[in-house]
Amino acid sequence: MNWLLVVVGAAVGAPLRYLLDRAVQARHDSVFPWGTFVVNAAACLVLGALAGAALAGAASSRLQLLLGTGLCGALSTYSTFSYETLRLAERGRGFLAAANVVASVLVGLGAVRLGSTAALRLFG
């Protein structure tokens, strides 16, 4: 029955990713993939908070499957990040491609840390 939790989380995460990506990108007249950047950062924040809650004993394994594997797995998108970065490079936007890689990794790590620290303080 664990697989059903993953399916339900993914069923929410995938449309949420699409809607959030489109909403963010529509607000920026830029070739930089802000939509993907924001959804990946949001997924990192949620996953960090979930990990912190789990470490504090406040998140069950079922909640981890629902939100971590399902929701965050469908919300974040490494394939789109990779594709958009490659497209930037192919279009002669090497600086933006490199900035996307560096900023995505740093912001992602920071978001996981922030989420985890906040959850540990809240539940720990």
State pLDDT tens for residues 33-80.
Answer: 999 999 999 999 999 999 999 999 999 999 999 999 999 999 999 999
| 124 assigned binding-site residue | no
User: What backbone torsions phi and psi does residue 122 show, to the nearest 5 degrees?
Assistant: -75, -45
Q: How many CB atoms are located within 10 Å of the residue 4 CB? A: 11
| 73 assigned binding-site residue | yes
CA 35 to chain centre: 11
Per domain, the residue ranges of the chain are 2-123
Question: Can you give the pTM of this predicted structure?
Answer: 0.96
- Please give the Cα distance from 97 to 117 (Å, whole number): 30
Taking a C-beta distance cutoff of 8 angstroms, is the pair 39, 75 a contact?
yes
Q: What's the Rg (C-alpha) of the chain?
A: 16
